[in-house]
């Protein structure tokens, strides 16, 4: 009797748990509940796209942007640099990773907000050109951006201390040499 009871209880627990975690997935893909953007876990991407600057998470731009950036012609002039890949296999592997994790394929909160701020056909090559990101940075005094510790707004990590973890929360922002604190909730 007791054993039967245990079996029923554990079956109940297991099915409740799987329902619960499924519901969690459904919820987060509907409402973008996961905070920040998905952190980069792909070693090839970190190696190839993290040498000259912070390895921007693919969840910061839509797939269309990455496709545009990664075609051979664009790679010849990537913000003034020639970063054409000798091996097409590498280029394709990177692009595939970027598309799968692009903002329009992500349920993370910041990716959803970036997508919401863009029109259907927009494919900016710069994260700072997306309306959401531009708006979030429009009040920062120029002198705090051009100072040596930062240099340019593209240098996300200079102010977002947990940027490499995909965390851009305003309570983790510290602009060097500034006492400004930001906390507007979203």
What would the two tokens of residue 47 be? 């190696």
How far apart (Å, rounded) are the C-alpha atoms in residues 57 and 29? 18
How far apart (Å, rounded) are the C-alpha atoms in residues 180 and 33? 27
- Using only C-alpha atoms, the chain has a radius of gyration, in whole angstroms, of 21
How far apart (Å, rounded) are the C-alpha atoms in residues 50 and 27? 33
- Determine contact, residues 129/60, Cβ cutoff 8 Å: no
Residue 164, number of CB atoms within 10 A of its CB:
16
Q: Is 38 in the site for ligand HEC (CB under 6 A)?
A: no
How far apart (Å, rounded) are the C-alpha atoms in residues 35 and 40? 14
Residue among 33, 105, 123, 153 that touches ligand HEC (CB under 6 A): 153
Q: Is 97 in the site for ligand HEC (CB under 6 A)?
A: no
Q: How far is the CB of 5 from ligand HEC (least distance, A)?
A: 49
Q: Is 56 in the site for ligand HEC (CB under 6 A)?
A: yes
Among 1-9, 14-22, 100-108, 124-132, which window interacts with ligand HEC (CB under 6 A)? 124-132
Among 2-10, 18-26, 79-87, 100-108, which window interacts with ligand HEC (CB under 6 A)? 79-87
Give the total of residues touching ligand HEC (CB under 6 A): 40
What would the two tokens of residue 25 be? 């997935």
Q: Is 135 in the site for ligand HEC (CB under 6 A)?
A: no
Q: Is 118 in the site for ligand HEC (CB under 6 A)?
A: no
Q: Is 169 in the site for ligand HEC (CB under 6 A)?
A: yes
Taking Cα atoms as reference points, which of 175, 131, 172, 171 lies closest to residue 153? 175
The residues of the shown chain that bind ligand HEC, judged by CB under 6 A, are: 48-49, 51-53, 56, 60, 78-81, 83, 94, 110, 126-128, 133, 136-137, 140, 144-145, 150, 152-156, 158-160, 168-170, 173, 175, 182, 184, 186
């Amino acid at each position: 009797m007791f054993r039967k009871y245990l079996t029923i209880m554990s079956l109940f627990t297991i099915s409740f748990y799987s329902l619960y975690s499924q519901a969690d997935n459904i919820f987060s893909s509907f409402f973008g509940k996961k905070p920040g953007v998905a952190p980069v876990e792909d070693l090839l991407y970190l190696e190839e796209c993290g040498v000259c600057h912070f390895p921007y998470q693919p969840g910061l731009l839509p797939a269309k942007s990455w496709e545009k950036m990664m075609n051979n012609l664009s790679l010849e002039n990537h913000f003034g640099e020639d970063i054409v890949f000798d091996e097409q296999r590498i280029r394709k592997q990177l692009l595939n990773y970027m598309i799968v994790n692009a903002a329009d394929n992500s349920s993370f909160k910041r990716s959803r907000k970036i997508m919401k701020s863009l029109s259907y056909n927009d494919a900016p090559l710069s994260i700072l050109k997306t309306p959401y990101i531009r708006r979030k940075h429009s009040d920062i005094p120029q002198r705090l951006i051009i100072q040596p510790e930062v240099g340019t707004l593209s240098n996300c990590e200079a102010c977002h201390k947990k940027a490499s973890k995909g965390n851009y929360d305003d309570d983790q922002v510290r602009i060097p040499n500034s006492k400004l604190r930001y906390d507007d909730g979203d």
